[in-house]
Amino acid sequence: MKLIIMLKINRVLIAWMLVGAAFAQGPGPNGRAGMRMGAGPGVRFLGAQPARPEPLVTGAPFSADAVTERSQLLPNGNKIEQVSTTRMYRDSQGRTRREPALNVLGSTVPGGSVPQLAFIADPVAGLSYVLDLANHTATKSTLRQPPNRPNRAPRARANSANVRTESLGRQLISGVPADGNRTTVTIPAGQIGNAQDIQIVTETWYSPDLQLTVLTKRSDPRSGESVFQLNNLSRAEPPSTLFEAPGDFQVTEQTRGARMRSRAPGPTQ
């Protein structure tokens, strides 16, 4: 039996193959959803590729931990809490690196945890890399040209009878000036079978200097609360070595309409 699992994490598509393994959905560590697998080869990492390219931002280097926390209170009083973290880097040239904590399958995967990956987008060289840090392998592909327009602050929804938007002014968020707005969307009673009005509140803080959202809070009675924030934010220039494949990695080149070609480890040119 073969099953491909495609996951979209921080705008990256990741694929695993479950080969000859009996599996079932079940709780992972700390009660989080995960997968349990029986005997067999287990999980094999197939590869990953960037999703939609992001606008190029130059002259605004930073490094930070992007932390997303989700919580939901169930009707029986039980509570679901999930935390995910991605280490992010960007240099002055607009090159980016992301290192997500891929705990989506839990820690019950045979043979250990899921791969530790890093995703590099290098618009200067027109290349992207997916690094498997544990196995010292990498996949290189042509980077799709990002949009020429800069990142912009999220647009506030137009005010209507059911949508209310208000400015929260400018505050220091994670050490940088950020402009905030709060949008409240009301679903009137009876619109989706609800006995009373439902209010969905989203608060967003955008940094013009970084051209990046640094904090988002969302509260929805149907799905719970979520908070995204950049923590441990530093505006120092990250080391240039973070944005290239290390010389001792075996690099597989992926091109459209052609087979992958592997390059043995060796010094970079």
Tens-place pLDDT, residues 22-63:
333 333 333 333 333 333 344 444 555 555 567 889 999 999
Segment 5-23 shows an average pLDDT of 41
pLDDT of res. 161: 80
Chain centroid to CA 120: 13
Q: Establish if 21 belongs to a structural domain.
A: no
Q: Establish if 225 belongs to a structural domain.
A: yes
Work out whether the CA dihedral 158, 160, 163, 168 comes out positive or negative. Answer: positive
Q: Which of helix, strand or coil describes residue 160?
A: coil
Q: Establish if 30 belongs to a structural domain.
A: no
Q: What is the pTM of this model?
A: 0.72
Question: What are the angstrom distances between the C-alpha of 182 and each of 129, 206, 245?
Answer: 37, 12, 41
| Residues 189 and 199: beta-carbon distance below 8 Å | no
Q: What's the pLDDT band for 103 if we cut at 50, 70, 90? A: low
Q: Establish if 45 belongs to a structural domain.
A: no
Lowest mean pLDDT among 5-19, 87-101, 183-197, 210-224: 5-19
Given a cut of 60, whether residue 12 has pLDDT beyond it is: no
Q: Establish if 217 belongs to a structural domain.
A: yes
Lowest mean pLDDT among 7-16, 49-58, 63-72: 7-16
Work out whether the CA dihedral 94, 91, 67, 50 comes out positive or negative. Answer: positive
Q: Establish if 175 belongs to a structural domain.
A: yes
Count of structural domains, the chain? 1
pLDDT of res. 54: 73
Q: Where are the strands (E) in the chain, listed by range?
A: 2-9, 12-19, 23-27, 33-37, 42-50, 62-73, 79-90, 96-100, 117-122, 127-132, 137-142, 163-173, 176-187, 198-207, 212-220, 224-234, 250-254, 261-263
Segment 80-90 shows an average pLDDT of 94
Given a cut of 50, whether residue 260 has pLDDT beyond it is: no
Q: What's the pLDDT band for 146 if we cut at 50, 70, 90? A: low
Segment 224-240 shows an average pLDDT of 97
Distance CA 152, CA 94 (A): 15
Q: Establish if 130 belongs to a structural domain.
A: no
| Residues 200 and 220: beta-carbon distance below 8 Å | yes
Q: In what order do the strands lie in the sheet with 12-19?
A: 2-9, 12-19, 42-50
Q: Establish if 4 belongs to a structural domain.
A: no
Give the structural domain span for 227.
163-233
